[in-house]
Amino acid sequence: MHRTCRQPFIHFGYPDFMTDERYSQRFRLLLPLFLIGLFIVALTLHGYLSRPGLDRHGDMYENYAWGVLWQWGYYKHPPFFAWETAAWFLVFPKTDFFYYVLAGVNAGVALLALWRIAVRFGGLGFQVLVLALAMVMPPISFIGLNFNANAAMTPLWALLFLFYLRGIETGRLRDAFGIGLFGALAMLTKYHSVVMLAALLIHALTDAQVRKLLLSRFGLVATATFAVVIAPHIAWLFGNGFLPITYAAEQDDGEGPNLADSALFLVTPLGYSALSFLIARSMRDLRDAYPLVPTDQVRDLWKTAKGRALVHFAVWPLILTIILGYLADAELSAVWGVPFYTAYAVIIALLVPPAYYEARLGRAVAAICLFTAIIVGISPFWYRYELTLDSGYYNAPLPEIADQVDQRWLDVGGPKGAVLIGEAALGNAISFYSDLDLITLEADSFDVARHYMTPEDAQRKGMIGLCQHGDAACTDRVKAIMPSAIQPDTFSVQGRTRLWSFDLWLLKPTH
């Protein structure tokens, strides 16, 4: 006989109104929403208070610089996450704080979809536990703060799976539309999403209940929606020499994946989920009558179509990523697994005996509150560590540099919308902080940008060349584009730890 857990709301001192049936439904809706909102606020504050710059790798600046071009694709990636960034900053000011709000909201949307997924597998206690387990996973919290293609996939995969479950439940055509839409948007974010689509297709083909849907009008609507949404990007690929695919192929260093890389990729989720396992274990009594690893609920998933779908969602993307890594001779990277973790949160929660879900609701809520308090509290200490990192322009005074570029361009009578050339990592950041709507030349190449910008187009807009002083490669690129009569001026900006000097070329628009 299993031990009986204490009753919820009594042991943890909840107000009496929470046990009132008149309020239970409202409480079941408001509590998860409140906790997700709390997480968004805490993650945003952590990002803003703990980092001297947006992103040491430059991805977040690149997102913006691409997005404002509003193309159907870019030389490294498909376009959707860049569009998200550009659209966000059509509404909000271009500041680090609001970029971290975007990253927080992105994670919050993933959690919102995850909550609705969890509703299909358990009550309020289970749902809150799933949220707690997901929030403490680094790919959803800390890694997710770097808003890039990997982070942007996370809510799209979760929404795709949510609509897949809804479709299994009801067979409604609007859910088929949602599957097609979010499947296409996931692919338009990163081609790696093909492993998620393949996982769901494997389930749909092998599950008799779902196979009927796949071969009905439901499957036709989902497929047609997917095709219509992704078609313009496919046309762009043909018209642009399959740039993202050729770019990815050129990044191969010849090593490709190996057995050690594959093993590390397989065990990385265990490390990233370690705190989630600890929280799941803390929901139980130290010594109870349940097995150390109670797997009954996980095994029972196979008894329903939705449960089988969850297993496919959790298992196949990991396996297929490794297979694709070998087929493409690409070195496996842990960040490819960022969108996997929503499924893992549900699976880990199912390892907790059901008797504890409602009885230990307070512990799950407390875990979320404690975690959010900690990530805000450690921000000043994290900031000191980040200041020691020397990675590109991460610690450069980028807003001040942008102000200098803007002022010097205005001094010569330059208009808004000029084209920045030079070093892409620097130009992307300056375009973000500039008040003059500067745009960067994609990949520093008119050949890459030939379908929407020629050298003549750039000269009509006006051109700004910008290089860090002494960067010979950047200087050569600028000199190859700028008329020889245009000579650079040098200016300097004091940073936190050193003086930054730059060469600046200015070519006013030609008419």
What's the domain count of the chain? 2
pLDDT score recorded for residue 329:
80
The pLDDT, as a whole number, for residue 260 is: 82
Q: What is the CA radius of gyration of the chain?
A: 25
Predicted confidence at residue 254, as pLDDT, reads: 53
Contact by Cβ (8 Å): 198, 192: no
Q: What is the pTM (predicted TM-score) of this model?
A: 0.93
Q: Write down which residue in 384, 418, 437 finishes a domain.
A: 384
User: What is the tens place of the pLDDT at every residue in 259-286?
Assistant: 888 888 889 999 999 999 999 999 999 8
Q: Which residues, listed in sequence order, are joined to residue 507 by a DSSP beta bridge?
A: 463
Do both 31 and 167 map to the same domain? Answer: yes
DSSP for 146-168, written as a single string = S-SHHHHHHHHHHHHHHHHHHHH
Shared domain for 424 and 365, answered yes or no, is: no
User: 374 and 405: one domain?
Assistant: no
Q: What are the pLDDT digits (tens) for 213-256? A: 999 999 999 999 999 999 999 999 999 999 998 887 666 555 66
Question: Within a domain: residue 11?
Answer: no
Instruction: Answer yes or no: do 266 and 213 share one domain.
Output: yes
Instruction: Tell me: do 369 and 451 sit in the same domain.
Output: no
Query: Would you say residue 161 lies in a domain?
Result: yes
Domain with 413 in it: 398-507
Give the pLDDT confidence score for residue 482 in this predicted structure.
92
9 domain residue, yes or no: no
Q: Which of 105, 121, 150 is nearest to 341 (CA)?
A: 150
Do 424 and 321 belong together in one domain? no
The pLDDT value given to residue 27: 85
Q: Tell which of 361, 384, 407 closes a domain.
A: 384
Phi then psi dihedrals of residue 379, to 5 deg: -55, -45
- The 8 Å CB, 24+ separation contacts for 442-448 are 442/65, 442/66, 442/69, 442/74, 442/75, 443/75, 444/477, 446/481, 448/75, 448/243
Residue at 71 is within a domain: yes
How buried is 334 (Cβ within 10 angstroms: 0-12 exposed, 13-18 middle, 19+ buried)? middle
Give domain status of residue 7, yes or no.
Answer: no
In this prediction, the residues of the chain whose per-residue pLDDT falls under 50 are: 1-19, 22
Q: Are residues 379 and 472 in the same domain?
A: no
Element housing 426 (H / E):
helix 424-433
Shared domain for 251 and 158, answered yes or no, is yes
Give the CA dihedral 128, 130, 131, 132, nearest 10 degrees.
90
164 and 274, same domain (yes or no): yes
Question: For residue range 291-347, what is the model confidence (pLDDT) as tens digits?
Answer: 988 899 999 999 999 999 999 999 999 999 999 888 888 778 888 899 999 999 999
- Same domain, residue pair 201 and 127: yes
Question: What's the confidence (pLDDT) of residue 330?
Answer: 79
Question: Which of 334, 362, 384 is at the close of a domain?
Answer: 384
* 5 domain residue, yes or no: no
Q: Of 14, 163, 36, which Cα lies nearest the Cα of 107? A: 36
Residue 15's pLDDT is 46
What per-residue confidence (pLDDT) applies to 164? 98
Q: Are residues 402 and 378 in the same domain?
A: no
Is there a single domain that holds both residue 104 and residue 202?
yes
Does residue 392 sit within a domain?
no
Among candidate residues 495, 493, 474, 464, the one with its CA nearest the CA of residue 403 = 493
Position 4 in a domain = no
